[in-house]
């Protein structure tokens, strides 16, 4: 480090104009072309910053004062939310957040020399209080069991009662459960010593059904005062339908363990998405913003151009959310997912909704695509909704060999989307409409999108 002459030093106070906003939502200040990343600052703002950390290529800074504010700044946000990373864009007006997300995709396309249009981001009328699931850590703070969220980049718990982006009934439920656990003096989990009982409180609430599930994640099977705690939760939580104990006895950052014990009510709750009833268990993957998920999936379905005659493959199908919505408009849908429990849920959800034209299989999407291709399956449309790492090259190649007319790419990571679009081009697929960003996670930096690819080059 000493060989490199940096233009700033640690603990120095520097002043300047914020030039940009990173994908993580941090402002970028430059001193002699050397970038300093500063949370809670916006482009155009003139700021004083204390340099907190140095590397060869960039530094981190802490905001001291804003000498000139951005017109897009929201004044006096609750700093706690930014500190914890719950709402890293909470200081930015909502129209500016939507532009920021559109621009994220545009910049990555420009870097890849792809001349593609990006439509405006589909936003929400009410961009807060939208999350239908919370997993809130529980720790002892000043001798008292406390719920909250970790400060960004640490395991220091910030006590929080209003989470800002969660369904307010979920916030209320967490407070009720916290107070009941305090009443019975149940010890919170201590990570350092791997002792204590309650690690996490998980709450889900159906957006349409209003059914509530509470899961107490414990450090072992023992739950002191289980009967009294369960009775009080069942009496005091509005809409309660399910109380579960989830056992996670491992030293791990994974939030929930594999073992569930039903304490009260039903083992699952229900909710609907695009008119289809879904059964949700404590471990089910289910989209956390159902209003925007409906818009995201409807955008995908509309762009698939289905008239009831098509065969569709849904890669990464999860519990069947896209597949079952598509089944109404297709001849047959095939779904593949690596998680066996999710495929069981998908089959059950199909049966519960009387959907008979959907086939679900467990497997790696890329391996199953190769099998389907070898078996001569000829899909008209392929829908992909991969994890953040994007698509496996083998899957893109198998898709090219099966030669569907359309590929609908639902993406949660613009960087891997752009990479995969280049790979699809090698298979003869071109983007035929502006990419449509959808704001699934308002107040955060995440952006989902729908891209339509069509086959232009037939072997």
Q: Would you please indicate which residues are annotated as catalytic (active-site) residues?
A: 412
For strands 198-205 and 212-218, give the pairing.
Answer: antiparallel
Structure tokens at 437: 């960003």
Please name every residue paired with 336 in a beta bridge, in sequence order, or none if there are none.
315, 361
Q: What are phi and psi of 264, to 5 degrees?
A: -165, 145
For residues 187 and 308, give the distance between their C-alpha atoms in angstroms, rounded to a whole number. 56
Residues 6+ apart with CB under 8 A from 392: 364, 365, 366
Residues 6+ apart with CB under 8 A from 5: none
For strands 46-54 and 144-150, give the pairing.
Answer: unpaired
Q: For the purposes of burial, counting CB atoms within 10 Å of the CB of 338, is it exposed (0-12), middle (13-18) or buried (19 or more)?
A: middle
> Which of 77, 74, 72 is closest to 99 using CA atoms?
72
In 3-state terms, what secondary structure has residue 16?
strand
For residues 382 and 427, give the distance between their C-alpha atoms in angstroms, rounded to a whole number. 14
DSSP string, 281-297: -TT----S-HHHHHHHH
- Which secondary-structure segment (H or E) carries 84? helix 79-84
For residues 192 and 373, give the distance between their C-alpha atoms in angstroms, rounded to a whole number. 51
DSSP state for residue 303 in the 8-state scheme: H
Alpha helices, H only, 312-427: 321-327, 340-352, 365-374, 393-402, 414-426
Are 49 and 29 in contact by the 8 Å Cβ rule? The answer is yes
> Which of 6, 98, 16 is closest to 50 using CA atoms?
16
For strands 332-337 and 358-362, give the pairing.
Answer: parallel
For the chain, give the number of residues.
Answer: 459
Are 195 and 222 in contact by the 8 Å Cβ rule? The answer is no
First to last CA, the chain: 55
Q: Crossing angle for the helix pair 226-236 and 168-183, nearest 10 degrees?
A: 150
Number of H helices, E strands in the chain: 10, 23
């Amino acid at each position: 480090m000493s060989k490199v002459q940096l233009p700033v030093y640690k603990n120095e106070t520097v002043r300047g104009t914020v030039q940009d906003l990173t994908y993580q939502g941090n402002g970028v200040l430059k001193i002699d072309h050397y970038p300093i990343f500063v949370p809670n600052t916006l482009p155009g703002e003139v700021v004083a910053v204390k340099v907190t950390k140095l590397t060869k290529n960039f530094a981190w800074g802490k905001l001291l004062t804003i000498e000139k504010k951005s017109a897009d700044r929201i004044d006096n946000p609750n700093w706690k939310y930014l500190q914890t990373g719950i709402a890293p864009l909470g200081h930015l007006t909502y129209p500016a957040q939507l532009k920021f997300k559109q621009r994220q995709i545009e910049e990555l396309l420009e870097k890849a020399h792809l001349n593609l249009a990006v439509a405006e981001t589909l936003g929400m009328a009410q961009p807060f209080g939208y999350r239908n699931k919370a997993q809130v850590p529980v720790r002892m703070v000043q001798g008292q069991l406390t719920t909250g969220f970790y400060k960004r980049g640490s395991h220091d718990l910030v006590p929080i009662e209003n989470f800002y982006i969660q369904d307010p009934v979920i916030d209320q439920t967490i407070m009720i459960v916290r107070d009941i656990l305090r009443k019975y003096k149940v010890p919170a989990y201590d990570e350092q010593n791997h002792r204590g009982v309650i690690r996490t409180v998980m709450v889900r609430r159906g957006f349409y059904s209003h059914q509530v599930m509470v899961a107490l994640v414990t450090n072992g099977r023992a739950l002191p005062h289980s009967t009294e705690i369960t009775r009080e939760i069942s009496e005091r939580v509005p809409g309660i339908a399910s109380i579960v104990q989830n056992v996670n006895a491992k030293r791990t950052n994974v939030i929930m363990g594999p073992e569930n014990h039903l304490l009260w009510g039903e083992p699952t709750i229900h909710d609907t998405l695009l008119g289809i009833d879904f059964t949700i268990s404590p471990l089910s993957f289910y989209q956390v913003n159902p209003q925007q998920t409906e818009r995201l999936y409807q955008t995908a379905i509309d762009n698939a151009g289905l008239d009831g005659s098509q065969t569709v493959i849904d890669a990464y199908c999860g519990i069947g959310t896209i597949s079952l919505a598509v089944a109404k408009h297709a001849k047959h849908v095939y779904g593949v997912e690596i998680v066996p429990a999710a495929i069981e849920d998908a089959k059950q959800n199909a049966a519960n909704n009387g959907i008979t034209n959907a086939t679900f299989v467990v497997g790696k999407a890329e391996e199953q695509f190769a099998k389907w291709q070898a078996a001569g399956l000829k899909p008209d449309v392929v829908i992909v909704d991969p994890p953040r790492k994007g698509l496996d090259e083998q899957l893109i190649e198998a898709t090219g060999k099966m030669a569907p007319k359309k590929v609908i790419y639902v993406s949660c990571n613009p960087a891997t989307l752009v990479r995969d679009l280049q790979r699809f081009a090698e298979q003869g697929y071109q983007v035929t409409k502006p990419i449509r960003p959808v704001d699934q996670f308002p107040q955060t930096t995440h952006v989902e999108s729908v891209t339509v690819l069509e086959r232009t080059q037939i072997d």
